[in-house]
């Protein structure tokens, strides 16, 4: 029987870049939007940072003259059609999630992605059974970096102990910090993360397990 190594009760995971390697998909989705509306495509070094902030923040900045509902609908359509094809799990991920649950942690997802593509991703990759709760962009009044989602998850799951927020962006870490939770930054993506200060940094799922489960 695996044992918890921490006073944390709830672990809140981000989706894109944390539970799924979606870098290629995200670049392709935004590229298709820029092409569809005849806009110059930003460089890859810019596009990879579109993962993290909510679509409601990114899209109006680059498409101020296009109705936001139209952009969201087109982004979601492409996501449902292509996201699973161009995304992958991380090495050892399912094993570590299984071990975390066995050790007694409650697991949840908090993402700035909308509900339909999130559910589709989790089902396709066999991740839905690992999580006690999932909250998405369209289920929140204030998405990350606002801590509303963490508070709602704590309330929904009747969490009495500590919370750890794990993600790959500044928005995830700020969200956790504002919720008075512990924070864990994953560094296994293309983003530069040197300037993001978190309580812990994880270069792999194996490191997450070593931090949270007794050997």
User: Same domain, yes or no, for 97 and 36?
Assistant: no
In the predicted structure, residue 194 carries a pLDDT above the cut 90: no
CA atoms within 13 A on the CB side of 17: 27
* Over residues 151-158, mean pLDDT: 98
Query: Has residue 21 got a pLDDT over 90?
Result: yes
Can you give the pLDDT at residue 131?
A: 98
pLDDT-based confidence at residue 88 (cuts at 50, 70, 90): very high
Domain containing residue 187: CATH number? 3.40.50.1000
How far is residue 99's CA from residue 182's CA, in Å, rounded to a whole number? 20
Percent of all residues in the chain with a pLDDT value above 90, rounded to a whole number: 89
Secondary structure element (H or E) that encloses residue 109, with its range? strand 106-110
Q: For position 6, what pLDDT does the model report?
A: 87
Interval 36-43 mean pLDDT:
95
- Taking residues 53-64, what's their average pLDDT? 92
Residues 44, 132 within the same domain: no
Together in a domain, 110 and 125:
yes
pLDDT tops 80 at residue 191: no
How confident is the model over 163-183, as a mean pLDDT? Answer: 97
pTM for the model stands at 0.92
Name the pairing type of β-strands 162-167 and 182-186. Answer: parallel
- The answer as to whether 3 is a domain residue is no
The residue among 39, 57, 82 that closes a domain is 82
The number of domains in the chain is: 2
Residues 98 and 164 in one domain: yes
SS3 state at 146: coil
Domain termination residue (choose one: 56, 82, 108) = 82
**SS3 state of residue 82:** helix
Secondary-structure breakdown of the chain: helix, strand, coil percentages, each rounded to the nearest 5: 45, 15, 40
Please give, one letter per residue, the 3-state secondary structure of the chain. CCCECCCEEEEEECCECCCEECHHHHHHHHHHHHHHCCCCCCCHHHHHHHCCCCHHHHHHHHCCCCCHHHHHHHHHHHHHHHCCCCCECCCCHHHHHHHHHHCCCEEEEECCCCHHHHHHHHHHCCCHHHCCEEECHHHCCCCCCCCHHHHHHHHHCCCCCEEEEEECCHHHHHHHHHCCCEEEEECCCCCCCCCCCCCEEECCHHHHHHHHECC
Give mean pLDDT, residues 125-145: 97
For residue 181, what are the domain limits? Answer: 8-21+87-212
Given a cut of 80, is residue 190 above it in pLDDT?
A: no
Alpha carbons 34 and 39: distance in angstroms, whole number: 5
Does 36 share its domain with 99? no
Structure tokens at 91: 């090495």
| 15 and 70 share one domain | no
**What is the band of 170 on the pLDDT scale with cuts at 50, 70, 90?**
very high
Average pLDDT of the chain, as a whole number: 95
In terms of domains, do 143 and 203 share one?
A: yes
Q: Give tens-digit pLDDT for 95-116.
A: 999 999 999 999 999 999 999 9
Residues 71 and 109 both lie in one domain: no
- Residue 149 shares a structural domain with residue 207: yes
* 1 inside domain: no
Angle at 118 between CA 10 and CA 69, to 5 degrees: 125
71 plus 91 within the same structural domain: no
């Amino acid at each position: 029987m695996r044992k918890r190594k921490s006073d944390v009760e709830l672990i809140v995971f981000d989706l894109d870049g944390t539970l799924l390697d979606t870098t290629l998909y995200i670049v392709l989705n935004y590229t298709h939007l820029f092409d569809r509306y005849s806009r110059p495509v930003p460089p890859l070094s810019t596009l990879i940072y579109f993962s993290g902030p909510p679509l409601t923040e990114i899209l109006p900045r680059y498409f101020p003259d296009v109705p936001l509902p139209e952009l969201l609908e087109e982004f979601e359509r492409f996501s449902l059609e292509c996201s699973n094809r161009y995304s992958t799990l991380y090495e050892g991920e399912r094993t570590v999630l299984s071990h975390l649950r066995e050790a007694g942690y409650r697991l949840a997802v908090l993402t700035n992605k909308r509900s339909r593509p999130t559910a589709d991703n989790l089902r396709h990759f066999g991740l839905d059974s690992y999580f006690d709760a999932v909250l998405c962009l369209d289920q929140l009044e204030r998405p990350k970096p606002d801590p509303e989602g963490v508070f709602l998850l704590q309330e929904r799951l009747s969490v009495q102990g500590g919370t750890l927020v794990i993600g790959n962006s500044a928005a995830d870490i700020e969200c956790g910090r504002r919720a008075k939770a512990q924070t864990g930054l994953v560094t296994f993506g293309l983003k530069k993360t040197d300037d993001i200060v978190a309580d812990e940094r994880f270069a792999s799922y194996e490191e997450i397990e070593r931090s949270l489960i007794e050997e």
